[in-house]
Homo-oligomer: A and B are copies of this chain.
Amino acid sequence: MTRQVALPDGGEKVRAAGGEKLLEAAGQVRELLDAMVRLDVRTPAAPELVERLDEVLELLRVEIAPESAMVPDLFKDRKGDYMDRSPVSGALNPMAPPVSLRMDGENGVRTSTRLGLPYQGPPGRVHGGWVATLLDHVMGFAAGTVDQWIFTRSLTVDYDHAVPLFEELELTAWVEEIDGRKIWVRGQIEAGGKVVAQARGLWLPPRNRPAPQD
């Protein structure tokens, strides 16, 4: 029942493909994101910041691909490089913390991360939406150990305790039950050795899918 999934690798494939400098830039934009929410609204650096960012954007303008070029074909390119641009695990996406998953048993995955101020919901806590985002992501990869093409159909998150910013969060997800096309998954977040959020969800393959190739 278990298949091998391509887990996020922290940019290893990007690095191997000659993308070392771009990975470095993504890390810098991540740092910039964090800095932006720590500036006073009247920071004296603002005018020069605007000028310099203008130059940065000008530099990239001729290099960026059209939006449509970055939407892969669902069935042909499912394992393609686009996961390196994921908002949760993509080493090239500055919005991603990012997370590198590892297998945990036959149909489980595990990872850890630490979120800073850009992810703040209530004071000192991770935004409830980002709690769900982390869980959906790792649970989706757990479901992906069963079927190559799957979508979240339903997700329930229980917020038992505050999910703290600035602290190591341990994420675990595992397949609980497989019932025909239905893949039921559980997930949890631990902080300081305590389960702070739990989730359960249902993953399904799309209705129109090609025949399995691997």
Evaluate contact between B87 and A118: CB separation under 8 angstroms.
yes
Evaluate contact between B40 and A65: CB separation under 8 angstroms.
yes
Evaluate contact between B41 and A25: CB separation under 8 angstroms.
no
Nearest Cβ on chain B to A192's Cβ, whole angstroms: 17
- The interface stretch among A29-37, A101-109, A170-178 is A29-37
Contact with B along A7-23 (1 / 0, CB 8 A): 00000001001110110
- The number of chain A residues with a CB under 8 A from chain B is 95
Evaluate contact between A133 and B123: CB separation under 8 angstroms.
no
Evaluate contact between A45 and B70: CB separation under 8 angstroms.
no
Evaluate contact between B165 and A159: CB separation under 8 angstroms.
no
Q: In the assembly, what is the distance between CA of A116 and CA of B18, in Å?
A: 26
A28 CB contacts on chain B under 8 angstroms: 50, 53-54, 56-57
Evaluate contact between A59 and B74: CB separation under 8 angstroms.
no
Evaluate contact between A82 and B120: CB separation under 8 angstroms.
yes
Evaluate contact between B21 and A46: CB separation under 8 angstroms.
yes
Residues A35 and B50 in contact in the complex (CB < 8 Å), given A74-B123, A158-B154:
no
Evaluate contact between B72 and A46: CB separation under 8 angstroms.
no
Selected from B36, B43, B52, the residue in CB contact (under 8 A) with A52 is B52
Please give the residue numbers on chain A whose beta carbons come within 8 Å of chain B beta carbons, in ascending order.
Answer: 14, 17-19, 21-22, 24-26, 28-29, 31-33, 35-50, 52-57, 59-60, 63-67, 69-74, 77-78, 81-82, 84-88, 90, 92-95, 116-124, 127-130, 132-137, 140, 151-159, 162, 165-166
